[in-house]
C-alpha cells in the first residue's frame, strides 16, 4: 500500500460537493466519421449532447465541466446553451485523456472546488448514460475512503492474440475470473485524483499505462470500489457503434 493514504473527510464533518468532468478533446480516429466523434450526430443530436443531458439530470452534481482542445470551435456552435451555472467549459485539453483530466481538475480548483470534493470523470462517448447509474455510483462511493467506478464483470471468453499475427491468431485463452470491464463515471476525491495523475504523468513509462482515472489511483496503491454498471453504458468507438447507440437512444422513454 502506498504511503499516500486517502483522507476520510466525512468523518471530519465536511459536506463534499460532486462535480462531473467530461474530457472532450479527442479526435476520434477509430470511429471513422471524419472528425471528432463526440460531435457526430446520433439520434438527431451531437453525441456529447446526450451525455451532458444525462449528467445535467443528476441533482447531486453541482456542475459539469467539459474539457475541450484549445482550438475547438465546434462545441460552442453545436451546444450554444450549455454554459451557465451548472455547465462549465475549459479549453485546456491535452494530448491524452490523462492530460485533459489533469487540466480539468486544475480548472475545478480554480473555480473553487476543494480537495474533499468529489469529481466524476465520464467519457463523452458513453452517450447512453442514465442518471440512475450515476446516482448508484454516488451512493456507493459517498462514504468510501478511496472512491470507485462503474464496471461490469466480464462474460465473454478472452483470447490473447499472437503478437504481430496477420490475420490475427489465438496465442492463448485468458482466464476471465475476477476480471471486470471498466466503465465511467469514475468517482474520486479531487485531493486524491489530482496528485495521482500528476505523479503518473511525471514518468513516461508510468503515464503510458494510465488509461483511466482508476489506474492512476491504483498506481498509488489504493483499491477503487467496483460498482456494477450497465451493459448499455458502452463507449462508442467503432463505426458500427453509432448505429447501435442510435437504436438504443430511440428506445429510451
Q: What is the pLDDT of residue 54?
A: 98
- pTM higher than 0.75: yes
Kindly list the domain boundaries of the chain, sorted by start residue.
9-251
Number of residues in the chain: 253
For the residues of 177-209, what is the DSSP string, one character each? TT-EEEEEEEEEEHHHHHHHHHHHHTSHHHHHT
| Other C-beta atoms lying within 10 Å of the C-beta of residue 241 | 18
pLDDT at residue 15, as a whole number: 83
C-alpha cell belonging to residue 154: 466480464
Predicted pLDDT at 31: 45
CB within 8 A of 231, min separation 6: which ones? 152
- Provide φ and ψ at 250, rounded to 5°: -70, -20
CA 228 centroid distance within chain? 15
Eight-class DSSP state of 94: -
CA nearest neighbour of 54 among 154, 147, 148, 122: 122
Q: What values do phi and psi take at 88, rounded to 5?
A: -120, 150
Number of C-beta neighbours around residue 228 at 10 A: 14
How does 150-174 read in b/e, with b if 16+ C-beta sit within 10 Å?
Answer: bbbeeeeeeeeeeeeeeeeeeeeee
CATH 3.40.367.20 for domain 9-251, yes or no, is: no
Distance CA 216, CA 119 (A): 14
State residue 35's pLDDT score. 72
Structure letter (DSSP) for residue 9 = G
| pLDDT string in tens for the chain (253-residue length) | 444 545 555 455 568 999 999 999 976 554 445 578 899 999 999 999 999 999 999 999 999 999 999 999 999 999 999 999 999 999 999 999 999 999 999 999 999 999 999 999 999 999 999 999 999 999 999 999 999 999 999 999 999 999 999 999 999 999 999 999 999 999 999 999 999 999 999 998 899 899 999 999 999 999 999 999 999 999 999 889 999 999 999 888 7
67: helix, coil or strand?
strand
Helix ranges restricted to H, the chain = 47-56, 74-78, 97-110, 131-141, 190-201, 204-208, 213-219, 239-251
Amino acid at each position: 500500500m502506498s504511503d499516500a493514504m486517502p483522507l476520510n473527510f466525512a468523518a471530519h464533518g465536511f459536506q463534499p460537493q460532486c462535480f462531473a468532468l467530461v474530457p472532450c478533446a479527442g479526435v476520434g480516429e477509430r470511429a471513422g466519421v471524419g472528425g471528432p466523434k463526440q460531435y457526430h450526430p446520433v439520434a438527431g443530436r451531437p453525441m456529447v449532447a446526450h451525455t451532458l443531458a444525462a449528467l445535467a439530470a443528476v441533482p447531486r452534481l453541482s456542475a459539469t465541466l467539459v474539457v475541450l482542445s484549445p482550438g475547438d470551435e465546434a462545441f460552442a456552435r453545436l451546444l450554444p446553451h450549455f454554459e451557465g451555472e451548472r455547465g462549465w467549459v475549459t479549453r485546456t485539453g491535452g494530448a491524452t485523456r490523462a492530460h485533459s483530466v489533469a487540466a480539468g481538475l486544475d480548472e475545478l480548483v480554480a473555480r473553487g472546488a476543494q480537495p474533499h470534493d468529489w469529481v466524476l470523470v465520464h467519457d463523452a462517448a458513453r452517450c447512453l448514460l442514465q442518471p440512475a447509474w450515476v446516482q448508484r455510483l454516488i451512493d456507493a462511493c459517498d462514504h468510501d475512503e478511496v472512491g470507485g467506478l462503474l464496471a461490469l464483470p466480464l462474460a465473454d471468453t478472452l483470447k490473447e492474440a499472437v503478437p504481430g499475427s496477420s490475420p490475427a491468431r489465438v496465442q492463448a485463452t485468458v482466464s476471465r475470473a475476477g476480471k471486470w470491464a471498466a466503465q465511467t463515471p469514475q468517482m474520486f476525491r479531487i485531493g486524491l485524483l489530482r496528485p495521482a495523475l500528476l505523479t503518473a504523468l511525471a514518468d513516461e513509462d508510468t503515464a503510458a499505462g494510465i488509461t483511466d482515472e482508476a489506474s492512476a489511483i491504483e498506481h498509488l496503491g489504493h483499491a477503487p470500489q467496483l460498482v456494477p454498471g450497465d451493459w448499455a453504458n458502452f463507449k462508442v468507438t467503432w463505426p458500427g457503434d453509432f448505429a447501435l447507440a442510435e437504436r438504443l437512444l430511440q428506445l429510451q422513454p
